[in-house]
Structure 1
Amino acid sequence: MAIRDIVKHPNEILEQKCLPVTKFDKKLAVLLDDMHETMVENDGVGIAAPQVGVNLRVAIVDFAEGQEPIEMINPKLVLFEGEDTDVEGCLSFPGIFGEVSRPDHIKIKAQERDGSWYELEAEGYEARAIQHEIDHLDGILFTSKISKYVTQEELDAMIAEAAAEEEEQI
């Protein structure tokens, strides 16, 4: 496994629709392993292949400790409903954060690294992260969906407030 460089905006690969994966081989497994290691090293919760310079429909979401990462190859959004607005950031846009509205409940169909198909339903933050990564595969940048930019200071205050509320509930 290797840590790869994160492609930063502006770079044209970030705005291209990615090609479908047709070969499920050792090269794909290495890409998935490298992407996961790169994402963890950069404190991300998701990463898409174009963010490491590869034009393929491959993405990973991993934010729940103790759970396996969600590897999505050739993912398709098959159901989306509800709406939620929350703050997002992106490894390809360091220091940029903004409020983005997305469906709150989704279902995807995607392939595993061995090529087998699976379906997954997700809600809340997990659904948001999955949609953000699928957008990358379609060349859609989260900055095109931001309704309000948020500074690092505002984000830090929101995180501190959420942590304090969580502490009160315990």
Structure 2
Amino acid sequence: MRLKVNGSEHDLDADIRTSLLDALRDHLALTGSKKGCDHGQCGACTVLVNGRRVNACLTLAVMHEGDEITTIEGLGAPGHLHPMQESFLHHDGYQCGYCTPGQIVSAVGMLGEARDNWPSHASESLDGQVELTDAEISERMSGNLCRCSAYPNIVDAIRDASGKGAA
């Protein structure tokens, strides 16, 4: 199979039952996306597929030939961080750091959804501009768990990065 990850094409010789997460970690050595629960419940494996959030542990790699896959490694690099990565550092939006790559990638995807005015369960209106209140951000990020409970700092980081065009 051929996958486009972080702007580069990769040919993989992998079993068709290989999850996208295992393809990224085991075949491409992109270990930023973490295997937390391997059941789609924690969000540590979140990547962007064509700009939308996906739990990489729940989808097969072969299903994403032709798609644009972005991992945490594709968002920024040392010395040239993505605005969301900078904001997480500035607001101390991590503790142990295990969930942080998934949180950051999910936050970037979430801001894209909000920019496109996709409502959530916390949205005031179904047909208007999405206001990123604490409740709105928390609802939209509810698929990403943090065992260390850094949630207040994560919300602050996302709110700050949203004003910097982090989506």
For Structure 1 versus Structure 2, the TM-score category normalised by the shorter chain is: under 0.3
* Higher normalized strand content (fraction of residues): 1
* TM-score after normalising by structure 2: 0.27
* TM-score after normalising by structure 1: 0.27
